[in-house]
């Protein structure tokens, strides 16, 4: 009995350490449990319970091998280096949840696929924690504000290759541009920035256009089911008892009420490569399955953002550029539901495949190789589309 208790305690300690410190923690923990059970089997080989230890060891070994197969470090061909993913580059923001650090220069990141460089970016930010855009024209009296996630922020691209920068370059005589996007953001950050006066504080000119880059993946982000960076402090919107969408603080304000223990267990389980492959929310770092309520909440957040923007800035226009990224967990169903809902509510929506024909054929001119983010050339074409079809400007 003492050997059993000692083995159990040692394996539990090893498991906890693996979860906190090791890549593929359940593979290494599985090795420890397999060895412990095999040793118990050998120790009690002449006793009836030896069969129990053997069967348990067999099952645990199979699970460990499966974990290794799905993890397979020799199949992990993407490697990252650089300081752009370090914690100090992400700062807590009471309105947006988190934001880039202010006034940084030469923050860089590189990614390699089989030792071949495919992602090489350097970025800088201003005093408002926004990615640098085209130098602002002091004579311009109008502004274009961009909202969205990493597609807006410009993951994988240098400052001058992002969409807000490209539009600013084209429209430098009339408009200044502002980049309110960041990796992992969604529509809830957009609405919070508008409702809490952040746009008023940052934008010096009269906002004339809002361009929101939307993907179906923003549905789970606005539900608090997916937080990409280092915090669950994102702004929280939900329906009240009357069915009205209201701001309800941050997702981590009532962490005890929403189940701190459950969140922690789900976070631990999401480290399993077996579960990531058989349960999609774990694969995409989600805390649960998306529901129809989450879809309706997201739609109402976008509609409220349009309402706030166009009421606060009379004569301004709110536009959506809607993307469908095929490396995400969302299916065509979510994309089509969003497109239908936006059109039913007369939202000005522009589908990326109409802007970039052939985008969904994994065109390397439009998407970074081994990555779903748009290329500099794609942003250049989208910027020209925005100038011609949204701003009604002609550029040669």
Higher pLDDT, 25 or 205: 205
The answer on 91 and 65 residing in a single domain is no
Would you say residue 171 lies in a domain?
yes
Predicted confidence band at 137 (pLDDT cuts at 50, 70, 90)? very high
The answer on 107 and 160 residing in a single domain is yes
Would you say residue 276 lies in a domain?
no
The answer on 68 and 129 residing in a single domain is no
Would you say residue 395 lies in a domain?
no
Residues in the chain, overall count: 396
Q: Please state, in angstroms and rounded to a whole number, the distance separating the CA atoms of residues 213 and 223.
A: 18
Residue 12 has pLDDT above 80, yes or no: yes
Helices (H), the chain: 2-21, 25-43, 50-71, 150-153, 163-170, 187-195, 198-202, 218-222, 260-269, 273-278, 280-283, 292-312, 332-344, 352-355, 376-385
**CB under 8 Å to 62, separation ≥6 — which residues?**
none
Among 74, 96, 117, the domain-final residue is 74
- The percentage of residues in the chain with a pLDDT greater than 90, rounded to a whole number, is 57
Query: In total, how many domains does the chain have?
Result: 2
The answer on 92 and 6 residing in a single domain is no
Q: Is the pTM of this model over 0.85?
A: no
Query: How high is the pLDDT of residue 229?
Result: 52
The answer on 88 and 220 residing in a single domain is yes
DSSP 58-85: HHHHHHHHHHHHHH-GGG--EEEEESTT
Would you say residue 339 lies in a domain?
yes
The answer on 82 and 54 residing in a single domain is no
The answer on 211 and 176 residing in a single domain is yes
Residue 128 has pLDDT above 70, yes or no: yes
Among 74, 97, 121, the domain-final residue is 74
Q: What is the pLDDT of residues 43-62, one digit of tens each?
A: 877 677 788 888 998 999 99
The answer on 29 and 10 residing in a single domain is yes
Q: What is the pLDDT of residues 329-360, one digit of tens each?
A: 556 888 999 999 999 999 999 999 899 988 77
Average pLDDT, the chain: 88
Query: How high is the pLDDT of residue 54?
Result: 87
Residue 192: give the domain boundaries: 78-258+290-390
Residue 257 has pLDDT above 70, yes or no: no
The answer on 165 and 37 residing in a single domain is no
Higher pLDDT, 64 or 290: 64
Would you say residue 285 lies in a domain?
no
């Amino acid at each position: 009995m003492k050997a059993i208790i000692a083995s159990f305690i040692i394996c539990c300690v090893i498991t906890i350490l693996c979860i906190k410190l090791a890549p593929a923690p359940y593979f290494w923990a599985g090795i420890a449990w397999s060895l412990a059970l095999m040793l118990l089997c050998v120790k009690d080989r002449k006793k009836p319970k030896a069969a129990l230890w053997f069967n348990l060891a067999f099952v645990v070994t199979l699970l460990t091998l499966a974990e290794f197969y799905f993890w397979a470090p020799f199949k992990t061909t993407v490697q990252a280096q650089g300081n752009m993913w370090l914690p100090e580059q992400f700062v807590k923001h009471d309105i947006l949840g988190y934001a880039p650090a202010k006034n940084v220069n030469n923050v860089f990141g590189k990614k390699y696929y089989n030792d071949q460089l495919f992602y090489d970016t350097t970025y800088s930010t201003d005093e408002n924690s926004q990615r640098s855009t085209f130098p602002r024209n002091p004579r311009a009296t109008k502004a274009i504000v961009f909202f969205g996630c990493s597609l807006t922020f410009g993951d994988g691209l240098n400052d001058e290759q992002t969409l807000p920068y490209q539009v600013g370059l084209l429209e430098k005589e009339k408009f200044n541009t502002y980049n309110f996007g960041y990796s992992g953001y969604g529509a809830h950050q957009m609405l919070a920035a508008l409702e809490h006066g952040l746009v008023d504080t940052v934008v010096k000119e009269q906002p004339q256009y809002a361009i929101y880059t939307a993907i179906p993946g923003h549905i789970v982000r606005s539900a608090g089911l997916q937080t990409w960076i280092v915090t669950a402090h994102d702004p929280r919107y939900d329906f009240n008892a009357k069915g009205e969408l209201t701001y309800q603080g941050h997702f981590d304000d009532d962490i005890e009420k929403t189940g701190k223990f459950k969140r922690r267990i789900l976070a631990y389980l999401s480290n399993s490569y077996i579960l990531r492959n058989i349960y999609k929310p774990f694969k995409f770092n989600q805390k649960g399955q998306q529901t129809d309520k989450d879809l309706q909440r997201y739609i109402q957040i976008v509609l409220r953002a349009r309402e706030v923007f166009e009421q606060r800035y009379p004569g301004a226009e709110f536009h959506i550029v809607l993307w469908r990224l095929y490396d995400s967990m969302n299916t065509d169903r979510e994309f089509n539901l969003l497109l239908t809902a936006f059109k039913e509510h007369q939202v000005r929506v522009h589908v990326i495949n109409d802007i970039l024909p052939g985008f969904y054929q994994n065109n390397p001119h439009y998407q970074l190789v081994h990555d779903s983010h748009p290329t500099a050339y794609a942003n250049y074409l989208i910027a020209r589309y925005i100038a011609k079809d949204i701003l009604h400007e002609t550029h040669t």
